[in-house]
Amino acid sequence: MGAERHRRLMRFWDAVATVVLWLSALVLLFILAWFITSVLRQGLPGLSWQFITGKPHPVSAGGGIGPPLFNTFYVTLLSLILALPFGMGAGIYLALYARPGRRVDALRLGVQALASVPSIVLGLFGMVVFSQAMGFGFSILSGSLALAILNLPLIVNVTEQSLRDLPATYRDASLALGATPHQTLVRVLLPAALPALVNGLTLAAGRAAGETAVLVYTAGVSTSGHLFDLNPFAPGGTLAVYLWGIKANPIVPDWQQIANRSAAVLLLVVLAINGLLLGPVRLWYRRFSGRGPH
């Protein structure tokens, strides 16, 4: 009787836990759907190609978001290019080559400490080092370098964890067949970990696209005024910074409409980044592995 009662009690608590987890997931999905719907409902009406490609007007109504929107993509791409080699290199080293010791402990402590630094502190650091000491000024390059430092811990942790999660048989089988450690890494481990790596890259790109505190102190709040300005030393005000600025200093008469439309475009940009990065990788993974990523 005692054993039967215990089994019933376990089944009861298992059912309770299942219901709680399902409710938590549904609440999260509801909040996400409510947030996306609210932003798009307020911003999509009145959204036009002229607004997306036009230049901002400092004091008059009818301005666009073309230069800040381009800077958003430019700064995000440049920051990832700067951060990926160092972040993935450190993550690969920690996952596959590092031996326990003081050096590895110090490296892990440094990564964890960097991840806990507030973004505004990194912005002040970037202003002192990149904008002033190195002479880059308030520019796209200064903002990209600061964002690269901001995203380094995320890229390191995602790379290390994605490689550690792979079955040990992947590496052992490749080495047993005569492949070198480098060939095993490039041809076996990295392709197998690609979905998880792209998930981390997506998080880093989305974080860079929506960051404000770091860029206010390094890239500035203004733009050069040109739609496609590839000069890395040009002012690098992004769409998130422009949205923050227009809400903080509502000078133009239609600032509320511009803010709503800018928020909708920024949300669509982040969703597009997720779709463009995750979609092709998942299709490739299913095609060449015969199964979807876990």
Are both 163 and 181 inside the same structural domain? Answer: yes
Q: What are 97-133's pLDDT values in tens digits?
A: 888 888 888 888 888 898 888 989 999 999 999 999 9
The model's pTM: 0.85
> Confidence class of residue 282 from pLDDT cuts 50, 70 and 90?
low
Rounded Cα distance between 246 and 58, Å, is 10
Report the run of H or E that residue 148 belongs to, with start and end.
Answer: helix 140-164
Instruction: Indicate whether 133 belongs to any domain.
Output: yes
Same domain for 61 and 37: no
11 & 150 share domain? no
Q: Rounded CA gap, 214 and 144, in Å?
A: 10
Q: Is residue 138 part of a domain?
A: yes
* Tens-digit pLDDT profile for residues 47-97: 889 899 888 887 888 888 999 999 999 999 999 999 999 999 999 999 888
Q: Please check whether residues 192 and 228 belong to one and the same domain.
A: yes
Give 25-52 pLDDT, tens digit per residue: 999 999 999 999 999 999 888 888 989 9
**Residue 1 pLDDT > 70:** no
Q: Are residues 198 and 83 in the same domain?
A: yes
Distance in angstroms (rounded) separating the CA atoms of residues 196 and 14: 30
Count of domains in the chain?
A: 2
Instruction: Note whether 157 and 259 are same-domain residues.
Output: yes
Give me the chain's average pLDDT, please.
Answer: 87
- For the cut 90, the answer to whether the pLDDT of residue 155 exceeds it is yes
Residues 61 and 33 in one domain: no
CB 247 within 8 A of CB 261: no
132 is a domain residue: yes
The token pair that represents 250 in the structure block: 């509502």
Distance CA(257)–CA(246), nearest Å, equals 10
**Are 226 and 276 part of one and the same domain?**
yes
Tell me the per-residue pLDDT of 232-276, one tens digit each, with 9 for 90 and over. Answer: 999 988 999 999 988 888 888 888 899 999 999 999 988 888 777
* Per-residue model confidence as pLDDT tens digits over 127-139: 999 999 999 999 9
- The share of the chain scoring above pLDDT 70, in percent, equals 94
Answer whether residue 157 is part of any domain: yes
Instruction: Report if residue 14 sits inside a domain.
Output: yes
- pLDDT class of 294 with cuts at 50, 70, 90: very low
Same-domain pairing of 20 and 64: no
In a domain, residue 294? The reply is: no
pLDDT of residue 292: 45
Q: Write out the residue range of the structural domain in which residue 27 sits.
A: 1-43
Q: Which amino acid is at 39?
A: V
User: Is the residue at 75 inside a domain?
Assistant: yes
